[in-house]
Structure 1
Amino acid sequence: MRNWLLPEHIADILPATARQVESAKAAMLERFRTAGYELVSPPLIEYVEALVSTDDSALALKTFKLDDHLSGRQLGLRADITPQVARIDAHLLAERTGVTRLCYAGSVVHARPAGLMSSREPLQVGAELYGYAGIEADLEIIGLMLASLRGAGVEGLRLDVGHIGIFRGLVQAAGLDASLAQALFDALQAKDASGIRALCADVAEPYRSAFSALPELYGPASVLEAARTRLPSLPEIELALLQLGAIARALGNEVELCFDLAELRSGFYHTGLVFTAYAPGWSDAIARGGRYDNVGRRFGRARPATGFSLDLRDLIRILPEREATRGIRVAQRLLPDAKGEIERLRGRGEVVVLDYLGESAEALGCDRELVAEAGAWRVVPFQ
């Protein structure tokens, strides 16, 4: 039995790459900090009902479940950190009544990979803003996402923007039952035009034509004007088009924008604006986000929320290389006399490596060594 093999879609991160990942993560968290986002670190494992709502079948399929031998209840390994942050905002930070900005960085585990090349252990990094419903909050989050990706070295970004409120408004106005609404949701995600027409065969006008039009409403900001003529005038649709127009005006000169009114893929819990970042060289999205108002309702506190997340593992191949810090060699024979000097050097941030075998500078990763000369310690180039 080859017990060194890892499960499919699971991989180690070795030293050189780990330095890249940790440096990029630290840079993103520092960017979040300077924008006022406070770091939280939820647990990897929770009771499953806190991680997955009863009507979120997609997240339920991603979540590993196991029995807790202490409580007898079912536990889950988190597949998404957003529900956990919503729990923190709703329950642990419930005394805060204004805007709350939170961020995180941690591993999640998927029972099945999102794609052929996807890891089942993404390193999810994200930021979320609670307590403000205005489009300004969404623009703040989008700006933070774009800056984070650019800071990691991603070039040629394109932002696809949609609004789930359009679909929800049509479903409500057309009086569709839950099963048909779910089937249409799936068909729109797949951009299955013929499937949409078949599902809407018995739907009254103008809603039948509106559902069929959604996959065709894709492109630059001019799509929004086309939508006004092809979609019925419903309050939800009018609000969505106003918000999408605000995105076009605010970001049109900053990033390539593409509006997709059939874009529903960002997550089940999203309620309004959704956005997805793409870049040349990646076959799938590299960051996703959107508005998920009232996501904390099941934890006892419903309020506006918007945020984004990305998988840092997706960016590994373009992250800047980080050279290992060269260290100071200390021959084992110098112990215990050198112990105090070793602690002093390490306290200054130096890497100090004990040499047990008389190894080379390359093997030890050292370019200097500690020597005793004339009753004093000196650091000299490692020969």
Structure 2
Amino acid sequence: MTSTRVPLAGRTASPRTARAINDRLALHLLKDEGPLTAGQLKSLTGLSRPTIADLVERLRGAGLIAVVGETGADRRGPNARVYGIVADSAHVAGVDVRARSVAVCVADLLGHIHAEASLPVAADAEPARAAEATVDLVRRTARKAGAERLHHIGVGAPGLVDPATGELAATEALPRWHRELSTALQGAFGAPVLLENEVNLAAVAEQRLGVVRDRDTFVLLWLGHGVGAAVVLDRELRRGASGGTGEIGFMPVPGTAGLPSATGCDGGFHSLVSSPAVGALARELGMPADAADDAPAAEAAVRGAVEAGERGEPFLDALAGRIAVGAAAVCAVLDPGCVVLGGEMGRAGGTALARRVEDRLRRLSPLRTQVRAGVVGGGGVLRGAVLTALDAAQNQLFGAA
């Protein structure tokens, strides 16, 4: 537990406002530090003992905190009660929407995962039925988690999310039911639905749970069937005017047969490092590679090259060179200091690929940039969706920090 004292709110606040500020302060301390005694709350906040006693009773009455134990058995006098957040006072759900599947996770107010489930979705599924099946999956998962209701629902999906409307942009490349899902979830559960691009959510998970917990600024490169990026500057996720920050598949780069267009990313960075391009590169260099042009096949090719040792080095070197071209362009504009390789291929390449990309990036750019392999795994988008919903729920119940 830290010993930092938190400044008290300004003296001009009304009694009601002061109580709200004090309650918020205590709740965030209990969330961040874990269970505390009234004495510890007094020390950390600088509030008076009567004020602490009042807020403890107020928060207990609201069902947000409860006595979770006692301390002081090794000293004279009565034991001190230890107070903690009532984790089951609210639940949130995360939903990871893919072209042919959907995954759901339900967590309590402290982020503890209580239930997970997934469901395949046929490529030709009728939109209304696909949305209905997803709603039913969320309902069953929430019931399994013991959640009577959901406070917020976070949803991760491929494509552009308009930052002004929060809606997924219409495109023929994605199933129509993706655009209908938010409305279906909100109608079924009456909970706010927070829709976010899947790569952005993977970056949230890496920042909070993964390889960049020590970084305030970084870029995550998503290397899967498609190519994308998430940009985090000063701990803030940057989306751009139309939600298009990170659409690096369209970025013109050397080494392609042409230039991308407004309607297609062929000829852009996508043509160098998407799963079809990586599969073709593996076959060209004599590495075993599935003829399928999808992310699992490319992931298997990259993982096979890592496991092949010296025999796989030419392929890894060539792939690292391609990735470094795009990374250098991003770094020249943003200077993030750290690039994370995410997505199926980024994770499969691990430190072997990250080390090679960093070496080639050092030759292309004068900017010092670390390259790290993502570690949150295939559930990164889902974990990011849960974290986004959890932040919103906590801010509403506790008050913004």
Bin of the TM-score, shorter chain as denominator length: under 0.3
TM-score, length basis structure 1: 0.28
TM-score, length basis structure 2: 0.27
Q: Judging by fraction of residues, say which structure has more helix.
A: 2
Higher RCO (C-alpha under 8 Å, 6+ residues apart) = 1
Instruction: Please identify the structure whose Cα radius of gyration is greater.
Output: 1
